[in-house]
Structure 1
Amino acid sequence: MREEGIGVDRYAIIDVEGKQLRVEPGRFHDIRRFTYNLNLWGINTKLSINRVLLIRDGSNIHIGSPWLVNAVIKGRILHNCFKEKLTIRKIPHNKKTLRIRGYKENMIRLTIDSIDFHCKNVGSR
């Protein structure tokens, strides 16, 4: 049985570094490390994201063009993390050698505290 007010009823779609990300209050998300230096900000630093494309609150859906004007997503940086290693295997033409290269992408894990719209708190825990 599902509790009222918890679940997929409240979410927002935000724009982070050109990628669209669906966020929900109380959950953590991994995003690609953006231009800000994590050493300057540190862990547990509060963030506010203004580039909100869509907010859903129950049956109410608010869509921006391109962004919603009075919408703010508030969250905190939890820690720095890495994505799984991406391996690139290449066999050059007419050679019997295998070249393997790979890298791990830097990610930032953040948690969403609340979704604010029109100075009204839409979803928080």
Structure 2
Amino acid sequence: MTYAIIETGGKQIRVEPGRFYDIELLTAQADEKVTIDSVLLVQNDGEVTIGQPRVSGATVEGTVLRNFRDRKVLVYKMKPKKKTRKKRGHRQEVTRLFIDSITLNGTVFTAQAVADESPAVDAPAQEAETVAE
């Protein structure tokens, strides 16, 4: 299993190829390709590469699926015995990013390559035939 830890929007996120993640708003529009250079760690088949602070030669490529506003977070402030109450709401701007590949020193790891390396899954058991009486 291949994954990377990237830094974006002041947060560290563990990403895998072939999955999507909601991150802080990027300036890119929908269906636009994005390259993230701030990769802190890359793991591939038990081989871990840790950056100090970033891994040199490592990038994460992704496609912006859409930009949207996250659910509302309510903030309620109250001072007891003073009849002072404030109710505020906040909706964070978010980008949904699909991770296409992780690149480390010219080697590209994609979701298809990761799926090919994984062991074969046993076929599901055959359903028992029901006999009508």
TM-score range, shorter chain: 0.7 to 0.9
1:73-125 residue CA offsets vs partner (Å, 9 max, x unmatched): 00010001222211011112422353211111110001000001010113333
Asked if 1:29 corresponds to 2:21, the answer is yes
1:50 match: 37
Q: If the length of structure 2 is used for normalisation, what is the TM-score?
A: 0.78
1:17 match: 9
Which one has the largest radius of gyration? 2
Alignment of 1:1-125 (within 5 A): 9-34=1-26, 36=27, 41-125=28-112
Distance 2:86 2:55 in 1: 47
**Local SS of the residue matching 2:79:** coil
Does the CA contact (< 8 Å) of 1:33 and 1:106 recur in 2?
yes
Distance 2:47 2:4 in 1: 12
Identity %: 37
Distance 2:68 2:14 in 1: 19
1:15-52 residue CA offsets vs partner (Å, 9 max, x unmatched): 11221111110100001114x3xxxx421000111110
**Local SS of the residue matching 1:61:** strand
Does the CA contact (< 8 Å) of 1:50 and 1:73 recur in 2?
yes
Distance 1:12 1:106 in 2: 24
Distance 2:101 2:95 in 1: 18
Query: Structure 2: where are the runs of 5+ without partners?
Result: 113-133
Q: How much is the aligned-residue C-alpha RMSD, in angstroms?
A: 1.4
Query: Structure 1: where are the runs of 5+ without partners?
Result: 1-8
The aligned amino acid for 2:91 is: K
